[in-house]
Amino acid sequence: MKTLVIVSHPEYDNSMTESFLNQCQNDIDSVDFLVLDHLTDNYQFNVEQEQQRLIKYDRILFQFPMYWYSSPALLKKYEDDVFTRRFTYANEDGKLKGKELGIITTIGEPLRNYTVGGSEGFSINELLKPYQALAFKAGMNFIKPFTVDQFAYMTNAQKSKLLVDYRNYLTNDDINSFSSKQRWYFEQLEELKEQLSPEKQTKLAVIIDYLKNNYDQLDEIKWELDLIKKEEDE
């Protein structure tokens, strides 16, 4: 499975969050990163070239900081220009049919404020309807959104979790089933670590780091987890 992350962030080069997310994935061969703010400086795109790019991927992800409850304008321009009617509509040429569309959005407020009665008043799910509608029209599968809230306040442990979850979102071909297992597994490892002698703690920390930085290894974790689950079921 090949994944394209299309990033739009007017302050991309100064964003700690974007820098972190970029580092999370830059070792993965099956993932390509396209930063629109580096692609153009005048809001113009090469439509033909971009369409040729899009059709090469199985999962297309829009990644952006929430600006007025939507993407920054540049990603909208990309949508307006590149997702032409004939190319996109499932009932016309439908070149994106069967692919996946997902949204990675970073927010400054805590996620819990995105609710009726909260300071933002609306849920992320409600606010992303226009993207869901785009996926619907294109015959794409809209996968559940990935929200990063308050990155600036994250502890190292939270950042480690984010790294695992983010890599999972980019590469796991069955996101819903794997993500929670993965998180659970790392939580167990972290908990275990605190019960060990300092020497063994260091050793386990290295192992955890290694696992988190190698997606192939994460596949093995999945396999081990499935094995444990199997034994439990029997």
* Contact by Cβ (8 Å): 40, 182: no
Cβ 206 to a second copy, closest distance in Å? 42
Cβ 117 to a second copy, closest distance in Å? 11
Shorter beta-carbon distance to a second copy: residue 64 or 185 = 64
Cβ 88 to a second copy, closest distance in Å? 9
Shorter beta-carbon distance to a second copy: residue 134 or 163 = 134
Radius of gyration of the chain from its Cα atoms, rounded to whole angstroms: 19
Of the candidates 184, 152, 193, 141, the one whose C-alpha atom is nearest the C-alpha of residue 165 is: 184
Interface with a second copy by CB under 8 A: which residues?
10, 42-43, 67-74, 76-77, 79-80, 83, 120-122, 126-127, 129-130, 132-134, 136-137
Cβ 108 to a second copy, closest distance in Å? 10
Q: State the DSSP code for 114.
A: S
CA distances from 83 to 50, 51, 76, 214, 221 (A): 9, 8, 10, 34, 38
Of the candidates 114, 192, 201, 101, the one whose C-alpha atom is nearest the C-alpha of residue 150 is: 114
Shorter beta-carbon distance to a second copy: residue 42 or 197 = 42
Shorter beta-carbon distance to a second copy: residue 65 or 170 = 65
